[in-house]
Amino acid sequence: MEMTYSLLIALGLSMDAFAVSVTGGATITHDRLKSALIVALFFGGFQALMPVICWFGGAEFSDFVTGYDHSIAFILLVLIGGKMIHESMTDEPGYPGTELEYIREHQSPTLRRGKRGMRSSSALMR
């Protein structure tokens, strides 16, 4: 059963890293090779170190946390949810308008080329 848990954790971590890498790669506008190497180094390092650190930390603190695990999870979820609600109700001073406008203004040339390609292919279909 431990192998199943390990495989599921590995699958979840790899899907998370893939999603972040794709969105990060789509927004890089300059010095792509350097950015790709830095991102790969950090992802690889953290993906390797985090399970090891958590394994040792879990082994040390499991007896202490067992009695409070549900309360800790509840508090963390309330804090994260409260922060999300607060952010949705306040205006961030860094955005020139909506987030969609910000994305359109700062999108990478790759996304612009992709949109032009989609427009030209849809024009051929008419």
Interval 43-73: pLDDT, tens: 888 878 887 888 888 778 888 888 888 999 9
Q: How confident is the model at residue 41 (pLDDT cuts 50, 70, 90)?
A: confident
What is the reported pTM?
0.40
Question: Angle between the 32-65 and 2-27 helix axes, to the nearest 10 degrees?
Answer: 150
Return the residue matching tokens 């996304």. Answer: 111
Most confident region among 2-16, 25-39, 85-99 by mean pLDDT: 2-16
What CA–CA distances, in Å, run from 5 to 1, 9, 11, 37? 7, 6, 10, 30
Please provide the average confidence, as pLDDT, over all residues in the chain: 76
The per-residue pLDDT for range 80-109, each reduced to its tens digit, is: 999 989 888 876 655 555 666 666 666 655
Domain map of the chain by residue range?
Answer: 2-66
